[in-house]
Amino acid sequence: IRESATLTRDVLEQHFNDLKGTLKKLLDERLMSLLQEVDAIEQESIKPLDECQKLIEHGVSTADDLLRDGESAVHGDVGQRNEKLCSFTKKALHIQLDSLPEVPSLVDVPCLSAQLDDCLLTILKNQIFSHGTVASRPPVQLEEFVEKPGGILVRWCKVDDDFIAQDYRLQYRKSTASHFEDVYVGSETEFIVLHIDPNVDYQFRVCARGDGRQEWSPWSVPQFGCTTLVPHEWTTGLEGYSLSSRRNIALRNDSQSCGVLYSKAPTYFCGQTLTFRQVLSGQLIETVGQPDRRDSLGVCVEQQNGYDTLQRDKAVCISTNGAVFVNGKEMTNQLPAVTSGSTVTFDMEVVQLGPCSNEGGSFKLRVTISSNNREVVFDWVLDQCCGSLYFGCSFSYPGWKVLVF
């Protein structure tokens, strides 16, 4: 409680300090704009009046000079009087003392003033006093972490019944990292976070966005998750397949070479869910290759070279046309065909029929294969105990791209 309260205080103080700085900057910019507008109107309006004033002052000055000349001619000597009067008369005839420049009427002369609406303070006051909230509990919380090979399934739930969630936002970071990063945004309440290093703590948090709103809710209480399961990897070196850098994605390339691509190690254990997903490449809509009846996705007890499909003994698989094979025999039940974006999952649990030892014995696995919202369930009988299994795939034609997790 104290840690979250301290963090909340810091967030509030920082936010309102930023707001004050931004508001001051905006007010200063608006004041400068209005002052510049006053200067522009003043300069534009005063110019013709200044010119008119100069003309009037010039006329008054000329008339004053002529008046002094007239007084000098009248009061001068009798001998010079006629000459001065003649000069005065000529000068007076050339000066137009009865003309004035056009002076704008009073209604045409600008009179500047500032109109300031006091309701702005009321609006700002209402907005400021309703800005920001303090929540004692986030509306969503992390609920469960499920270990996956090289990943963690994260589940979360709403804890506020009155909150209607439109989207969720999940973030994570390594325990040694300083910043969270987005890993999922959407409407689901669970997500498998891949590319997780085994035996390393990761911190997770989730928030939600209310229906019709733009802002996100407060973050949930951060929680740590970890997986001890090594990631699934395809084996390298098979000519017909190209692998991603993490070796969890296999692409059937244009090579004529064919065969089964197996996992690097028997990393699938009963009780887990093994998932194959057709991956979209770039912006292409159709990313799957041409289907073939020999195509296969599945698990097996051991790697066996010399086969071009998993439709063999000690293996269960699904073909791209939806046919299911157990120990090389096709079942009557069939699943939908595997297409672009399809997800195929294998779930197995142990059902032991007889004594099991290192020397052998009856061993039965209950297998559930799901594809496109349909599933088949059957028992797979083996003559040996299997603590872990290999997975594999085979495609006859190029273009198939499969992610395993």
Per-residue pLDDT tens for 35-52? Answer: 999 999 888 888 877 877
State the sign of the Cα–Cα–Cα–Cα dihedral 177, 181, 187, 190.
negative
One domain for residues 202 and 340:
no
Residue after which a domain boundary falls, among 92, 110, 130: 130
pLDDT grade, residue 232 (50/70/90)?
very high
What type of residue sits at position 261?
L
Cα-flanking dihedrals φ and ψ of residue 387, to 5°?
-75, -25
3-state class of 84 per DSSP?
helix
What pLDDT sits at residue 7?
A: 84
Residue 41 lies in a domain: yes
Residue 233 placed within a domain: no
Average pLDDT over residues 253-266: 92
150: domain range?
Answer: 140-227
Report residue 363 CA to chain centroid gap.
50
Q: Which residue has the higher pLDDT, 178 or 87?
A: 178
Same domain, 41 and 161: no
At 285 the pLDDT is 32
Which pLDDT score, from 0 to 100, does residue 78 have?
64
Range with the lowest mean pLDDT among 47-56, 169-178, 219-228, 308-317? 47-56
**Long-range CB contacts for residues 381-387, cutoff 8 Å, separation at least 24:** 381/353, 382/301, 382/314, 384/301, 384/360, 385/356, 385/357, 385/358, 385/360, 385/361, 386/270, 386/301, 387/269
Is 58 found in the same domain as 167?
no
For residues 250 and 399, membership in a common domain is answered with yes
Q: Determine, yes or no, domain membership for 366.
A: yes
CB 149 within 8 A of CB 228: no
Q: Is residue 135 part of a domain?
A: no
Residue-wise pLDDT tens digits, 320-337: 999 999 999 999 999 999
For residue 339, pLDDT beyond 90: no
Quick one: pLDDT at residue 87?
A: 77
Q: Is 359's pLDDT higher than 70?
A: no
In a domain, residue 236? The reply is no
Residue 254 and residue 383 share a domain: yes
281 has a pLDDT exceeding 50: no
Last residue of a domain, one of 199, 227, 255: 227
Q: What's the rounded Cα separation, in Å, for the pair 390 and 262? A: 7
Model pTM score:
0.62
Helix axes 78-93, 2-75, angle to 10 degrees: 130
* Highest-pLDDT range among 76-85, 147-156, 353-362: 147-156
How high is the pLDDT of residue 82? 72
Q: How many domains are contained in the chain?
A: 3
pLDDT higher than 70, residue 3: yes
**282 falls in which pLDDT band (50, 70, 90)?**
very low
Mark whether 163 and 58 lie in a shared domain: no
Question: Are 40 and 114 part of one and the same domain?
Answer: yes
For residue 62, pLDDT over 70 is answered with yes
**Co-location of 281 and 361 in the same domain:** yes
Q: Are residues 72 and 199 in the same domain?
A: no
Do 321 and 350 belong together in one domain? Answer: yes
Q: Check residues 196 and 83 and name the one with the higher pLDDT.
A: 196
Question: Is the pLDDT reported for residue 283 higher than 90?
Answer: no
Whether 60 shows a pLDDT value over 50: the answer reads: yes
Q: Which of 105, 130, 155 is the last residue before a domain boundary?
A: 130
Looking at the structure, tell me whether residues 20 and 152 fall in a common domain: no
pLDDT at position 93 is: 74
Give the position of tokens 């740590």: 224
Q: What is the pLDDT of residues 63-119, one digit of tens each?
A: 887 788 777 777 766 667 777 777 777 777 777 666 666 666 777 778 888 888 888
CATH number of the domain where residue 175 is located: 2.60.40.10
Q: Does residue 282 form part of some domain? A: yes
pLDDT above 70: percentage of residues in the chain: 92
Dist CA 161 CA 163 (whole Å)? 6
Average pLDDT of the residues of the chain: 86
Asked if residue 344 lies in contact with residue 371, where contact means CB atoms within 8 angstroms, the answer is yes
- Rounded to an integer, the average pLDDT of 255-274 is 91
pLDDT confidence of residue 76 = 66
CB 134 within 8 A of CB 8: yes
Residue 253 within a domain:
yes
Q: Is residue 234 part of a domain?
A: no
pLDDT confidence bin for 205, thresholds 50/70/90: very high
Pair 246, 394 in one domain: yes
